[in-house]
Amino acid sequence: MFRVGIGHDTHRTVEGRPLILGGIDIPAEFGLDGHSDADVLLHAVTDAILGAAGLGDIGEWFPDTSAEFAGADSGELLRRVISEVSGQGWSVVNLDSIIFAERPKLSAHKQAMTDNLAKLLGVDSAMVNVKAKTGERVGPIGRGESIDAQVVVLLSKEE
Ligand SMILES: [Zn+2]
């Protein structure tokens, strides 16, 4: 059987923090604010997988009130979720994603993010797609106040 899941996340941009997207350190004059490492793409990926497997959402799994997850590596949180869904017999078929960021230019980093996501998900890089869009200079994304990510994922399980 197949199950589709959707994920969305938003983080505010802030000076003095690294910008980590899809587990990759992106050179930028700002980073993203958040309780964990604020990897907006990995959070959306994690939520999409939880949704597809019917397992709730990232906030239930990793509460931002918990000291355990302060500064957490979002790749590690995703690995825990993958381990749970794999244990239930699910595997990832493919994943598509969009990062919404006015700055910096992400085209040079898309392949690294794709390869890292594929590694985390245990699939071939051909099954992962990372797209980047600006906010056309309008709204919080366009003004550079936040970065968003949207993800859809398809899971399959032998019946
Ligand atoms: Zn987040």
| CATH classification of the domain holding 75 | 3.30.1330.50
Q: 121's torsion region: left (phi>0), alpha (psi -120 to 50) or beta?
A: alpha
Give distance in angstroms: CA of 121 to centre of ligand 1. Answer: 18
CA 34–ligand 1 middle distance (angstroms): 7
pLDDT at 68 over 90: no
Per DSSP, 89 falls in state T
Mean pLDDT throughout 106-112? Answer: 97
Task: Using the CB atoms, write b or e for 35-67: b if 16+ within 10 Å.
Answer: ebbbbbbbbbbbbbbbbbbebeebeebbeeeee
> How remote is the CA of residue 47 from the centroid of ligand 1, in Å?
9
Question: How far does the centroid of ligand 1 lie from the alpha carbon of residue 42, in Å?
Answer: 8
What is the total count of domains within the chain?
A: 1
3-state secondary structure of 95: strand
Phi, then psi, of 35 in degrees rounded to 5: -75, -40
Q: Which structure tokens are listed for 19?
A: 């910008």
Q: For residue 38, how far is its CA from the centre of ligand 1 (angstroms)? A: 5
> What is the average pLDDT across 117-138?
97
Residue 52 clears pLDDT 90, i.e. is over it: yes
DSSP 122: T
- Confidence (pLDDT) at 66: 85
pLDDT of 150: 98
Half-sphere exposure of residue 143: CA atoms within 13 angstroms, side-chain side: 6
Q: Which range marks the domain in which residue 139 is found?
A: 2-156
pLDDT band at 64; cut points 50, 70, 90: confident
Instruction: Report the pLDDT value the prediction gives residue 157, as an integer from 0 to 100.
Output: 97
Confidence of residue 72 (pLDDT cuts 50, 70, 90): confident
State the chain's mean pLDDT as an integer.
96
11 Cα to the center of ligand 1, angstroms: 6
